[in-house]
Amino acid sequence: MKKALVAFFSASGSTKRLASSLAAASDADIFEIKPAVPYERKDLNWMDKKSRSTIEMQDPNCRPELADKAAPLTNADVIFLGFPIWWYREPAIIDSFLDANDFSGKTIVPFFTSGGSQLGEGQERIEKLAAGAKVLSGRRFSARASESELKAWIASLPLD
């Protein structure tokens, strides 16, 4: 496989566990996408119309500030992009990451955690935001996906 990077955002730790397993399964470097202002538990209450995450997700143009804009993308050909599903799409912080970086000539492979939701409009949004990149179809995993499951998935991807 080409040189890979696992770039991920995790609000509760589930996606971080999956990203770590994926990095091991793909022999990839890993980079955590973090907001400049970390999310607190109250910010993630999707039932509260005034919570930070709810407000961000209601505005498709919201771009929370990143803590670190220097993602190590230069040597990576394949970017495994991980996140939890929020409101049937990628969190706004992922949009910030996509806007802040040049993905020209790279392949982006979304992977996500969710209790059952699919990516919905997120696939099209990622394709639009990552101009110049080839974006493969995203896949939902359990945070505790096995290394063998992840290796089988990687082997099934058109990455060569």
For the chain, the structural domain boundaries read: 4-156
CA 135 from centre of chain: 12
**Within 10 A of 113 (CB to CB), how many other CB atoms are there?**
26
Task: Look up the pTM and report it.
Answer: 0.93
Residue with tokens 């996140």: 83
- The pLDDT score that the predictor gives to residue 74 is 92
Tell me what pLDDT residue 43 has. 86
Residue 103 in tokens: 């993905």
Residues in the chain: 160
pLDDT at 70: 86
Q: What SS3 class is residue 107?
A: strand
Where would I find the beta strands (DSSP E) of the chain? 4-8, 29-32, 78-84, 107-113, 134-135, 139-141
Please, what are the averages of pLDDT over each run of 10 residues along the chain (160 residues)?
A: 92 95 96 96 86 87 93 95 90 96 96 83 93 95 93 94
What class is the 4-156 domain?
A: alpha beta
Distance CA 110, CA 125 (A): 12
Spatial distance between the Cα atoms of 85 and 113, rounded to a whole number of angstroms: 6
